[in-house]
Every structure is written in C-alpha cells, then in structure tokens.
Amino acid sequence: MTDRKKLLRALDGEVQKVPPIWMMRQAGRYLPEYRATRAEAGDFLSLCYNSDLAAEVTLQPIRRYGFDAAILFADILLVPQALGADLWFVAGEGPRLSTITSMDDFNKLVPADAIHDHLAPVYETVRILSRELPRETALIGFAGAPWTVATYMIAGRGTPDQGPAHSLMAENPEVFDALMERLTDATITYLSMQIDAGAETVKLFDSWAGSLKGEAFQKYALAPAKRIISELKARHPGIPIIAFPREAGDGYIGFAKKTGADCVALDNSVTPEWAAMNVQVDGCVQGNLASRHMVTGGQALIDDTRRIVDAFSAGPHIFNLGHGITPDADPANVQLMIDTVREGAYAES
C-alpha cells in the first residue's frame, strides 16, 4: 500500500496522518516561471494547444513545491471549441465564445464523438506528463461539468449569476436540454481519452453548481455527474473520480453516494467541521482552505491550515484550496501552507 501514490491512496479511502496536497490552478500566473512560458507561447490558447509547453507549466509547480499531484494544464472551454463554438480570450477580461441561444445555434455544433482531432494536443500533453512526472506524483485529468460549461456557451462569457443560462433553461428547455446532453456526451468522451492517455484520476469541475437550486440542482448538476462517472467507471474499471459541485451547500451531503464519485471537493463556504460530519462520512473529501490565505499568509494561514487538517484527520482527505489560487498570491505562502500540512511527517521522522 505504501508504494501506491499518496493521492490515489486517499481516493481509495485510506486515512493518512499527513494528507496528500495539491492546489487548484497550481500552474498559473502567480508563478514567474509560468509567466515566462506563457510569453513564449504567445497567448493562452496557444499555450493550451502546445503539448510541450502545456506539459512544462504543469510540471513547474511540481518542481518548485513537490505537490503530491499534478493537474493537466488546459481549460474547460476547449470542449465547446472542439464542438464548434468560436473561442477567444480578451486580455484582462477573460474568455469569449459564440453563443448558443436557439436550435439553429445548437445544430451548428458537431457530434460529441467528433471532438477527438481538435483535442489531440491535450491528450499528447497527458502522455508527456505520464512519462515525465516523478514516480510518486499522481496525474489528474479534468473537465468542466456540463452545467458550468453551458453557462459560458449560452452567455458567451462568464457572468456573475449565470442569468442567461437560467433564462434559457426556463424559456427554451428543448435547446437547453439538448446542449446539456451534448456536453455530457462530450465530457465522457474527453475524460475517457485523458484516462487512455495516462491520467490516473479525473476531476469534474462544476464551478457554478451553487446557482442551481432544488430540482434544478438534481437535474443539471447531480444527474449529469452521475452519468459521466458511471460511464467512465464502466469504460475504465477502478478509475477514481473527484467531483467538485462548488458552493453546493447542503447539496454536498450525499453527493458522493448519489453520483458514484470517490471524492467530493469542497469550497470554503462550508466549515471543515461541518463537512467532516456531513460529507466525509461517505468517503474522501478534498479542500477547503480559503484562497485568500495564499495572498495574505501569516499566522491566519497556519491556523486555518491546521484546523482543516485536524477536522478531517479521522477520514480520507486531500488537502487543497476551496477554489483556485489567484494571480496575486505569494509563492512563499504556498510553501508555508505545504510546510504546515506536512509538519506531522517531520514530527514522526
């Protein structure tokens, strides 16, 4: 068991005195080496589709910090682009897409099984990483969940309340449901290909799950996750899967059992004590340090890190942030977080 990678052991349900650590957006703009590679690539999408450079930025935080896992460098909006949507990035503002608001728009998309060629560079990045990562470092693949990706495709950009997607859901459910079905199929295809290329686990990011309430959460967050996880496990027996229905609140309760996920990632809107009582009882949890600590550091970072490790110490836990690290973070604070989590290991040695 000790030869198996720490992250995979946690996903198997093993309780470890020192939990494995990785960090959402750990390859990113807070690192000077990332900024240099991004400049070499020319623009963000060119970086995503250059397999050698995408592998390089994935490896950078592993070299610097020795995280227990690397997550593939890509973007959740590569899937809509592969389906036929126009995608571009506006400096300082973020992604823009052509919109899907009618059946005519939807009918311009390609079938889910036609995305392979467009996404081939991503699969090559996974293959490079599976060769070059340290033996002890797990490789995580990922995709955006259908609801979250749909919100961008419908609005053409990120929105504060996902209002355009909620409106289409209410006013034209035929188009909305067709888009969700296409995205669910494409996500299965995409993640399956990542696993074939060497990903040892995959994570489903539903960043906007919290804006779905009641029946809508069940239908458009939980049900697609269940279908994706079920199909992936049928195709790849034994593959562990992490689900992240961000800001789900009480929706976190039972999410693992209802979807088949091996681990539920938690944002920092829930306390670790609450999550230990209500979510970790079903298996592994991941999270949930506030990202702001990577900016502010200090004793508050140490105290909250220790609190989270202590709260989850009786069950399987992967230490992570509650959301992605921000560009204004101080790399020294990342090291402080890692040292604080791992101090138990030093005490034992």
Choose the catalytic residue: 30, 34, 123, 152: 152
The residue behind tokens 């929105």 is 159
Active site residue 252: no
Cβ–Cβ contacts within 10 Å for residue 202, how many? 27
pLDDT in tens, 203-244: 999 999 999 999 999 999 999 999 999 999 999 999 999 999
Choose the catalytic residue: 12, 29, 105, 157: 29
pLDDT of 197 > 60? The answer is yes
pLDDT of 167 > 90? The answer is yes
Does the domain formed by 6-24+75-348 have CATH 3.20.20.210?
Answer: yes
Choose the catalytic residue: 9, 25, 182, 292: 25
Choose the catalytic residue: 12, 35, 64, 75: 75
The residue behind tokens 């450079």 is 53
pLDDT of 348 > 60? The answer is no
Active site residue 250: no
Percent of the residues in the chain that have a pLDDT greater than 90, as a whole number: 96
pLDDT band at 349 (very low <50, low <70, confident <90, very high): very low
| pLDDT of amino acid 7 | 98
Delimit the domains of the chain by residue range: 6-24+75-348
Instruction: Check: CB of residue 187 under 8 Å from CB of residue 143.
Output: yes
As a whole number, the mean pLDDT across the chain is 96
pLDDT band at 91 (very low <50, low <70, confident <90, very high): confident
Active site residue 4: no
Question: Quick check: helix, strand or coil at residue 43?
Answer: coil
| pLDDT of amino acid 92 | 83
Choose the catalytic residue: 9, 34, 38, 182: 38
